[in-house]
Structure 1
Amino acid sequence: MISKAQIIVTIGPASEKEYVLEAMLEHGMDVVRFNFAWSDFGRRESQLETIRRLERKHGKKIPIIQDLPGSRKAAGGGHSYEPGRSGVTEQDRKSLVFGAEKDIDWVALSFVASAEDVEAYRREISNCRGKQKIIAKIERKEALENLYGIINSSDAIMIARGDLGHEVSLEKIPFIQADIISKCKAAGKPVITATEMFLSMVRNDRPSRAEVTDVANAILQGSDAVMLSEETSVGEHPVEAVTAMEKVILEAERHLAGKLAFRPL
């Protein structure tokens, strides 16, 4: 049985080999994410070629997300952004051209503040003759204040809980997550819950009970996809992380018994 909610897998040194990608595909991987904060286009091209081979071999479309850094900058072990900066950065512009040339499906925008930010990137995609759909990442206070406009102007939403946790009190995150999911379901837009879902599996071969509960709750709330980041990009157990996540999703969906509609990317 295959889950309806999707698993997004971030590709990195731990998961870029073809046999690892194929194993993850066979155990529940649905969508691939590339972090373009590190824009080694040569390496990305090689990884894309591997994914295209697997598509042909398995007769299955594997949607690809290019996650752009925007105005991101390193800050105290995490990330921050340049508050006064708006518009498309030069690094993002180069990445969008690459994505257009390689027929990448989705682009995820970091530190979106308003619908205007989304529209600026949509115009840039059009300028480079791209077809990428837009995922707006909710990770700053301004985005929460302008949530309706961002949802309406985007093709999908990602709840980026890691950076959002630097903007609002941690105890508020579960309720913000539930609210965003509810608004996305009402608008008919796919919603992704991301960050630290199975973080302990960077080292361990099984998730913690708290992590299992977190993923199950994200599905019960209506997440259309859940995302693995470090777990599969640099972790020691990428295939096991995908396998465990698929099991949790299937169990959560069994309890939902068809009460929610899932919208794939």
Structure 2
Amino acid sequence: MSRPTLCEACTKIVATVGPACDTVERLVTLIEHGVDIFRINSAHGDREQHSRTLANIRAASAQVGYSVGVLLDLAGPKLRLGKLLEEPLQCELGMELTFVRGDKPGSPTELTSSYPRLIDELKPGNHVMLADGTVALRVEEVHANRARCRVIGGGEIRSRQGINLPGVALSVSSMRPRDVDNAIWGAKEGVDLISLSFVRTAEDVRSLKNLLTSYESTALVIAKIEKREALEHLESIVDASDGVMVARGDLGVEIDVAETPVAQKRIIRICRDKLKPVIVATQMLESMHHNKRPTRAEASDVANAILDGADACMLSGETAIGEFPVEAVDTMHRIMIHTEQEMLTAISDPRQNGSNRVHPITSAVAYGATTIAESIGAKLIVIATRSGGTAWVKSKQRSLIPTLGASDNEETLRRMTLFWGIKPCRVSQLDDAEVLFDEISRWGCQNGMLAPGDRIVFVTGNSVMHHAHNLLVVHSVTAESCRIGAVATSPTPSSPEPSPPAPNPSTPKPVREPATPE
């Protein structure tokens, strides 16, 4: 059975594409097992590889007949060690190491950096974290061309490993020339989401948005929270962005690892208050790089992210380079299903902050649709949407009743892959409500998801109220719809558009809803 189905998880799965899953056949398998969004990590590979990956994702999506989203992850300014004279270098507790200018260290204990202004911006007392935080240094002295440091957390380092500078005010821009070039490429290619690394203020987010706007891109901008400065300006960053990623890898180095769980909960809470989607990322099922089963702690980590209110969870190396990418996706999906079954339905108040991203009538109708659907035991809620704005608001109400985001716009279908609980469903048109009712009924009967007598709550619009979804209809599936569905020809996997039903000119046409929420 092709996706969507009414029994799949509400929380979305983001999977990173890499050598372990970069063919069309493997991507098809991952989509069939529950992946909603594929991430292209621009820190690895070149333009030719990225273009090939995007083409393969689109081909796999067409083959399955399910519109998956594509997230382009901008690398940002990654500070790295230069070439070491001694490889690897064992850093003993209390040992002295010195950063020097240039790219040629004079001794095994001298370090160089890819960031030319490093020495200028270090101060005595600053901490320097190397190799994803496994080695910690404290700056003792800073001179014109060198910064003397002492090892306060021992370990092993190698050439080109990352440098993190928690609490150090760096002047480097969040977008390097390569990031700008990649963002322009993504805009031209119609990528659905673009995530920005090294975010420190809302202005960083607005800079990327302005760039995308100049290329007429509708991509959602996802701010990666991985710096202490981002936590200090969190509310304004969330306001400026279309969504947020909790990038726990770098964040866990920039702040004390003991602070990370509470920081994650705070980020998710603020995103929920402001109706912004939030992705939890990094090391969610890390042990599944080489094992078919995760640790119990990892399973609990995924479940707690869902219970906190995450819209999506992301797999990185598990699918990109791991030995068991399909098993990792299956495991995450099973955890999501079991966790969501235990969740209490938490319906958001439509009057809360952030509900102004669509017309207030639309927000109230979406709220009412959930209440009515639960009170009458509806099998399904259907949001008819051209831009995805109404589905965006509906996703924050956290109802466990299956909800379709029905649209005839391909970009909107891919965008809705990020919205919690919204299952994108392609329909032939949105202008005729009766035709839409019949088309959804046939789709459900044809796939064994609906039966005669099942109730569906539709949220759509008519010409009475401009710019609003003001029509809420309770529709009962008829035996005639199921009979039609039983003999109808199923759409082929490579041709996901359903056969358009006959138009009904007597039905009033709903008006177009507002453009993509800002």
Q: TM-score range by the shorter chain?
A: over 0.9
Q: Which has the higher contact order (CA 8 A, sep 6+)?
A: 1
**Within 5 Å, which residues of 2 pair with 1:139-150?**
139-150=226-237
Which amino acid is the alignment partner of residue 33 of structure 2? H
Check conservation: 2:25, 2:60, Cα contact below 8 A. no
CA distance in 2: counterparts of 1:16 and 1:10, whole angstroms:
9
Matched residue, 1:77: 131
Moved more, 63-72 or 85-94: 85-94
Check conservation: 2:31, 2:64, Cα contact below 8 A. no
1:47 aligns with 2:101: no
The answer for unaligned runs of 5 or more in structure 2 is 1-6, 82-129, 133-161, 348-396, 399-415, 419-518
Check conservation: 1:135, 1:154, Cα contact below 8 A. yes
Aligned partner of 2:63 among 51, 57, 63? 57
Matched residue, 1:14: 20
Matched residue, 1:218: 305
1:37 aligns with 2:43: yes
1:238 aligns with 2:292: no
Aligned partner of 1:125 among 179, 187, 212? 212
**CA drift at 1:38:** 2.3
Q: Which runs of 4+ in 1 moved over 3 A?
A: 78-82, 260-264
**CA drift at 1:39:** 4.5
Normalising by structure 1, what TM-score? 0.95
Check conservation: 1:190, 1:264, Cα contact below 8 A. no
- Give the secondary structure class of the aligned counterpart of 1:252: helix
- Report Cα offsets for 1:69-99 as digits up to 9, x if no partner: 1112235323446821126321011101210
CA distance in 1: counterparts of 2:67 and 2:267, whole angstroms:
28
Check conservation: 1:87, 1:120, Cα contact below 8 A. no
The answer for unaligned runs of 5 or more in structure 1 is none
- Report Cα offsets for 1:148-167 as digits up to 9, x if no partner: 00000000000000100111
- Give the secondary structure class of the aligned counterpart of 1:215: helix
- Report Cα offsets for 1:124-158 as digits up to 9, x if no partner: 11223332210000001000000000000000000
Same amino acid, percent of matched pairs:
38
Check conservation: 1:5, 1:264, Cα contact below 8 A. no
RMSD: 1.6
Moved more, 128-137 or 147-156: 128-137
Check conservation: 1:71, 1:81, Cα contact below 8 A. no
Normalising by structure 2, what TM-score? 0.50
**CA drift at 1:230:** 0.6
Which amino acid is the alignment partner of residue 8 of structure 1? V
Matched residue, 2:482: none
**CA drift at 1:101:** 1.8
Check conservation: 1:113, 1:140, Cα contact below 8 A. yes
Matched residue, 1:179: 266
Aligned partner of 2:293 among 191, 198, 206? 206
Check conservation: 2:303, 2:335, Cα contact below 8 A. yes
- Give the secondary structure class of the aligned counterpart of 1:57: helix
- Give the secondary structure class of the aligned counterpart of 1:159: strand
- Give the secondary structure class of the aligned counterpart of 1:7: strand
CA distance in 2: counterparts of 1:239 and 1:146, whole angstroms:
38
Check conservation: 1:32, 1:65, Cα contact below 8 A. yes
Matched residue, 1:164: 251
CA distance in 2: counterparts of 1:87 and 1:189, whole angstroms:
21
